[in-house]
Amino acid sequence: MDRLTMWTAQDIHYEPGPADAQVRTFHVLYLHISSTQLTCSFDSSCNNQHTTMVRVLALASIATALASATPSLNVHQFRISDFLDEVDPVSLETTEAAVDQELWFSNQKLDHANPSNSNVWNQRYFVNSTFYGGPGSPVFLTIEGEWTASLSTVTSGGYYFNALAKKHKALIVSLEHRFYGKSQPFANLSTANLKYLSADQALADIANFQDFFSKSQNITADSKWVAVGASYAGMLSTWLKLKYPTRFAGTWASSAPILAKEDYFEYSDHVSEGLRYFGGDQCVNRITAATTELHRLVASSKPDDVASLNKLFKPCYEFTSNDDRGVFEGQIYGAFQGPAQANDYAKKNLDFVCKAFANTTVSPIEALSAYIGNNVPDKCTYNSLQGYIQYYQNVVIAPVDTGSRQWFYQTCSEFGFGQTTSTSIGAFSPLQFGTVDVVQRKLCAAVFNITDTAARVARTNAKYGGLKVDVPNVVSVTGTIDPWDALALTNATGAVNAKTDVVEILATSHCRDYYTPRATDSGHLVWAHQRIDQAIDRYVNGHASC
């Protein structure tokens, strides 16, 4: 199991897209639009590494869509390393001979839970041996999540884990997650095939790969293994110590929402509190007034109200159901999710949002229209649930895998993570059409015939422990304005195991600790990196028990 404000590519320096067409959102979708096509690209998470977090396929997280009369959808997940150049454009001192461009483990098991299933498949991985000190030196494994893996994971100096690997003379390796990127066990993504996609199978992949890699690289028994994961991959790095307690000396989990939850309304409340932190009560009150009036217009059938809504926000179609109204309200809500989740990196961050609502000479709803319009000019706001259903029913693996159908399957089958507004209490609570039925249940049923997500979420928490997970030698890091903070270990939750380090960073967003320190870092972030450094040092030097 990486993200939603509308901003242009030049605003945040994403990889280039069509000059007049690129818009990216943050938590769940970004959009490439031409005059004839709508392309919604699925985020989530913390380019190739993510945040997702947990890129959750909640329609409440879908950004305002740029649509034509007959939109087609192509969802792509948001990656942590999309922001790498903004965070710290540094390269490790690697040598070409020491960096393997692309390697394959050709004997990965399809079904680790069934010994009688002998099917195997090819799993991609990357290695950087530039700093490796030889036998006895540690191995640092980056766990990839719901995105396409990249060589930069093991070579970029922008990732703090790589800097620590250099310090400890570690061999750096990353393993692509099954069903994402090029690591495809099947030729298509049918629901029957996706039954082999789960966190438990991914964890077993890591253990099986570790055995293969140790043998093929002559890794000696005295070499310590340390793993890191961000967002969904951070969940895996936590659970790795639970399922295989002796294989890894320790792990680092960055912004890991380890509590599965079907109706994750707290995401909305965290966005609201982040706005309050940077813009005070005035900012939150203005946005609350705007969303209150927006919902009134969306719910109304009065001709004057319909005309006002069309003028201010341009729905792509006439509303035919409350489901479509929920999609529409989700688009508007989505324009606030990105600034919250990517506050540390994006130019259009929470402070930017509050400034957009600071002009009291215009009404709150007019300020909201201007904010949305400035992000998505001269386009309509998407409002069809059926369009998303049809997109997610596509089982074809694209040449450049987006991971959208796969991640959505995982949210339906294991995690929930429906980013709703109807049950929230903050600035977006007036958006009452953003229910868990619209955000997740109806999609899960229509796309995968999954109608029991709540029960599946309960099983996930029972299996892994939720916030009561009992694991030693995990340094679990989150930020107080990260919208995923409510599902992660924090100062408030503490940790069951005394050897779990909980590090909550004041006023930081999703996966900020994952990046290499900068001179402009706050004292809180400096402290967090010191805590991570100390934990990794304990794991590598044998001062931590397994």
**Nearest CA-CA partner of 383 in 321, 302, 338:** 321
**Dihedral (CA of 199, 203, 206, 211) sign:** negative
**Residue 519 is part of a domain; what is its CATH number?**
3.40.50.1820
Domain stop point among 420, 438, 461:
461
Report, as an integer, the average pLDDT of 111-118. Answer: 97
Q: Are residues 519 and 450 in the same domain?
A: no
Domain stop point among 431, 461, 491:
461
> In this structure, what DSSP letter does residue 173 have?
E
pLDDT digits (tens, 9 = 90+) for 235-275: 999 999 999 999 999 999 999 999 999 999 999 999 999 99
Examine the pLDDT at 390 and tell me if it is beyond 70.
yes
Q: Are residues 158 and 116 in the same domain?
A: yes
pLDDT digits (tens, 9 = 90+) for 319-365: 999 999 999 999 999 999 989 999 998 889 999 999 999 999 999 99
Q: Are residues 434 and 309 in the same domain?
A: yes
Q: Are residues 271 and 419 in the same domain?
A: yes
Report, as an integer, the average pLDDT of 136-151. Answer: 96
Q: Which amino acid is at 31?
A: L
Q: Are residues 331 and 425 in the same domain?
A: yes
Quick one: pLDDT at residue 3?
Answer: 28
Q: Write down the residue that tokens 């049918």 correspond to.
A: 190
544/237 Cα distance (integer angstroms) = 17
Check if the beta carbon of residue 405 is closer than 8 Å to that of residue 249: no
Quick one: pLDDT at residue 379?
Answer: 82
**Token reading at 56:** 């959750």
pLDDT digits (tens, 9 = 90+) for 216-227: 999 999 999 999
Q: Are residues 394 and 472 in the same domain?
A: no
Look up the pTM and report it.
Answer: 0.86
493/471 Cα distance (integer angstroms) = 15
156/128 Cα distance (integer angstroms) = 10
Examine the pLDDT at 55 and tell me if it is beyond 90.
no
Examine the pLDDT at 127 and tell me if it is beyond 50.
yes
How many residues can be counted in the chain? 546
- The larger pLDDT score, comparing residue 101 to residue 114, is at 114
Question: Is there a domain that residue 16 lies in?
Answer: no
Domain stop point among 409, 437, 461:
461
Examine the pLDDT at 92 and tell me if it is beyond 50.
yes
Examine the pLDDT at 545 and tell me if it is beyond 50.
no
Q: Are residues 189 and 220 in the same domain?
A: yes
Question: Is there a domain that residue 18 lies in?
Answer: no
Quick one: pLDDT band at residue 289, thresholds 50, 70, 90? very high
**Dihedral (CA of 258, 261, 262, 266) sign:** negative
Parent domain of 147: 95-258+467-541
Exposed/middle/buried for 344, CB within 10 Å: 0-12, 13-18, 19+? buried
Question: Is there a domain that residue 24 lies in?
Answer: no
Quick one: pLDDT at residue 373?
Answer: 87
Q: Are residues 273 and 235 in the same domain?
A: no
Q: Are residues 315 and 194 in the same domain?
A: no
Give the chain's domain count.
2
**Residue 518 CA, distance from chain mean position:** 23
**Token reading at 109:** 């098991």
Q: Are residues 129 and 251 in the same domain?
A: yes
Q: Are residues 356 and 474 in the same domain?
A: no
Quick one: pLDDT at residue 375?
Answer: 62
- The larger pLDDT score, comparing residue 537 to residue 22, is at 537
Question: Is there a domain that residue 31 lies in?
Answer: no
Question: Is there a domain that residue 80 lies in?
Answer: no
Question: Is there a domain that residue 30 lies in?
Answer: no
Quick one: pLDDT band at residue 89, thresholds 50, 70, 90? very low
What is the pLDDT of the chain when averaged over all its residues? 85
Question: Is there a domain that residue 333 lies in?
Answer: yes
Q: Convert 238-251 to b/e letters by CB count within 10 Å (16 or more is b).
A: bbbbbbeeeebbbb
Q: Are residues 516 and 452 in the same domain?
A: no
**Nearest CA-CA partner of 436 in 291, 265, 257, 319:** 265
Question: Is there a domain that residue 68 lies in?
Answer: no
Residues 6+ apart with CB under 8 A from 123: 104, 105, 108, 175, 176, 178, 183, 205, 209
315/321 Cα distance (integer angstroms) = 13
